[in-house]
């Protein structure tokens, strides 16, 4: 069974597909039996996916399209680290703005609740992550206020 919603997402943003590496041709490809059960979009933490996931993909696509690179761009990992969104890739064409866009959303993620996507007001200590008041109350634990700039 193909996950239709994810397939639509991948048709729009081909770099969200999970690709495999072919050691003979030294290139990545989408396996024939890929069922779209999981895409890189699912690797973005919930709150950030809600707040800016599609916008991030759209901006990446526009920057990649300038170099005809949207289906060649290879994401290696997406995760949260020290309260920021991190996206690791296999490189981009010279002059492509993808890394500027990723940096911009790293900054935005730091101030966006990782649970629900609302503006963050607190940083959890220990596992460092941004939260809004509501989500912070739900998960409990120790927090530090985010200083207004």
Distance between CA atoms of 110 and 82, rounded to whole angstroms? 9
User: Which is nearer to Zn ion, 7 or 118 (by Cβ)?
Assistant: 118
Reading the block at residue 22, the tokens are: 């072919």
- The residue to which tokens 């935005």 are assigned: 108
User: Does residue 9 touch Zn ion according to CB under 5 A?
Assistant: no
User: Does residue 83 touch Zn ion according to CB under 5 A?
Assistant: no
User: Which is nearer to Zn ion, 31 or 119 (by Cβ)?
Assistant: 119
Count of residues binding Zn ion (CB under 5 A)?
6
User: Does residue 116 touch Zn ion according to CB under 5 A?
Assistant: yes
Residue 126 burial (CB < 10 Å; 0-12/13-18/19+)?
Answer: exposed
The residue ranges that bind Zn ion (CB under 5 A) are 113, 115-116, 118, 132, 135
């Amino acid at each position: 069974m193909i996950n239709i919603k994810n397939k639509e997402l991948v048709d729009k943003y081909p770099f969200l597909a999970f690709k495999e590496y072919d050691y003979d041709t030294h290139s990545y490809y989408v396996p024939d039996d890929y069922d779209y059960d999981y895409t890189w979009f699912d690797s973005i933490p919930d709150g950030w996916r809600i707040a800016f996931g599609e916008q991030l993909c759209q901006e990446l696509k526009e920057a990649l399209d300038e170099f005809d690179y949207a289906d060649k761009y290879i994401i290696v990992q997406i995760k949260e680290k020290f309260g920021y969104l991190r996206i690791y890739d296999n490189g981009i064409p010279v002059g492509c703005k993808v890394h500027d866009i990723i940096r911009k959303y790293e900054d935005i993620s730091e101030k966006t609740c990782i649970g629900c996507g609302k503006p963050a007001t607190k940083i959890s200590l220990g596992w460092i992550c941004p939260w809004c008041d509501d989500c912070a109350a739900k998960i409990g634990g120790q927090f530090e206020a985010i200083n207004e700039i």
